[in-house]
Amino acid sequence: MHTRRIGDVEVSAIGLGAMPMSIEGRPDEARSLATIHAALDAGVTLIDTADAYHRDADEIGHNETLIAKALASHDLGKDVLVATKGGHLRPGDGSWTLDGSPRHLKEACEASLRRLGVEAIGLYQFHRPDPRVPYAESVGAVRDLLDEGKILMAGISNANPDQIRQANDILGGRLVSVQNQFSPAFRSSEPELRLCDELGIAFLPWSPLGGISRARELGSAYAPFARVAEAHGVSPQRVCLAWMLAKSPVVVPIPGSSRPETVLDSLAATDLVLADEDVAELDAV
């Protein structure tokens, strides 16, 4: 498995996005555990989750609990960096709400610590800006958690360039990651990717294949990805992840999965070397 860095931690160049295993349409627990274990066997050492990755109102942190169980039942579980998030909520009716208040973030972190069964969270990320709370206050809470040793590294998610710079300043230069949506269908995070490359901050694309419902249609929706895939004899999804890896050494995609076979196809992207002309063609989509 090829590796990249988040802060001072070496991780697999492609991580596992665990959200599909806990929200609507999720598989049974046995398949989810098999998916996580397949990822570990293939060399994954980064798993992304959040306390809001659940379906029903009475199961907050379902995904964190699932990951903790999977890691505890596998010999390689101790080698994994778990990245979780706080500040987003799901009332249980399918909607998403926000709470970026320092009090909530600190309480959410404590709850995540208990569910993950760790003394300190490897990477904790402020999930999404809350327009009702000054951004500096939310990031300040994450800084406090870092200073207190409750978290080992700090990141932000769904941030714009100004927020990235502000967060890095508030954290005293200790911002290690930015997790934004980025895919062939969603290219507006290019400025954030370029800024992370400039600053040496890991950029974690979420929904890199276009989301749960659209990932299978990537090749039919974007002809260049299908053409490059055919030329290399691989899936368009694998080409997509290889394209992202080629854009910058700070990029660490976290494709979501709930099946062992899709995990393995995604991870194979680390061995796919695209020619410069391939990357240029895909950039032009």
Task: Please state, in angstroms and rounded to a whole number, the distance separating the CA atoms of residues 237 and 149.
Answer: 38
Q: Is 124 a catalytic residue?
A: no
Question: Residue 72, CB half-sphere, CA atoms under 13 Å: how many?
Answer: 10
Place of tokens 């050494």: 249
Please enumerate in sequence order all residues whose Cβ is within 8 A of that of 281, keeping only pairs 6 or more positions apart, or say none.
Answer: 224, 227, 228
Among candidate residues 53, 124, 135, 222, the one labeled active-site is 53
DSSP string over 126-161:
E-S--TTS-HHHHHHHHHHHHHTTSBS-EEEES--H
Sign of the CA dihedral with 117 first, then 119, 125, and 131 last = positive
C-alpha distances out from residue 94 to 24, 56, 180, 266, Å? 8, 8, 21, 28
CA angle 166–17–119, rounded 5-degree value? 70
Return the number of other C-beta atoms located less than 10 Å from residue 205's C-beta. 25
**8 Å CB contact between 1 and 269:** no
Amino acid at 237: Q
Secondary structure element (H or E) that encloses residue 50, with its range: none
Please tell me the distance from the alpha carbon of residue 101 to that of residue 245, in angstroms, as a whole number: 34
As annotated, the active-site residues are: 53
